[in-house]
Amino acid sequence: MMMRRRRPLLGAAVVAGTAAYAGKKSAERSYNEQAQNQQLADLQAQNEAMQQQMAAQQAAYQAPPPAPAPVASAPAAPAPAAASGLAAQLQQLAELHTAGVLSDEEYAAAKAKLLG
């Protein structure tokens, strides 16, 4: 009886090839899972950022509008000094009007008051 001799190298090559293929597929699966997990984490971060932005916009929309700034009233005409004359007082009023401190109506009223 003749014994058939096995080819050990061929069997080892088949086993090694199968192991390499399985290892490659395992590595691809692992890489794909990592990529999907990273994409999921990125989407969740974007979702959270959008929710925060929407909440801030909604809060700004619901907040009452800021109150208007108080309007500064024009300073009263300076009190006339006892020693100054009528011409000096009229000159001061004209300077205040030219500088924009007094409006036309305020200037006319103050002038009429001085003239009497």
The 10s digit of each residue's pLDDT in 30-82 is 888 888 989 989 989 898 988 988 888 887 777 676 667 676 666 665 554 54
C-alpha 100/C-alpha 74 separation (Å) is: 9
Non-local (6+) Cβ contacts of 93 within 8 A are 77, 102, 107, 110, 111, 114
Task: Clarify whether residues 54 and 91 are in a common domain.
Answer: no
Task: Clarify whether residues 16 and 56 are in a common domain.
Answer: yes
Q: What is the pLDDT at residue 15?
A: 59
Task: Clarify whether residues 58 and 22 are in a common domain.
Answer: yes
Q: Tell me, yes or no, whether 26 lies in a domain.
A: yes
Q: What is the pLDDT at residue 27?
A: 80
Instruction: Answer whether residue 83 shows pLDDT above 60.
Output: no
For 74-82, which contacts have Cβ atoms below 8 Å and span 24 or more sequence positions?
A: 74/101, 74/102, 74/103, 74/106, 75/101, 77/102, 77/110, 80/114
Q: Tell me, yes or no, whether 69 lies in a domain.
A: no
Q: Which two tokens stand for residue 45?
A: 């971060």
Domain range for 57 is: 9-62
89 pLDDT band, cuts 50/70/90, is confident
26 pLDDT band, cuts 50/70/90, is confident
C-alpha 28/C-alpha 24 separation (Å) is: 6
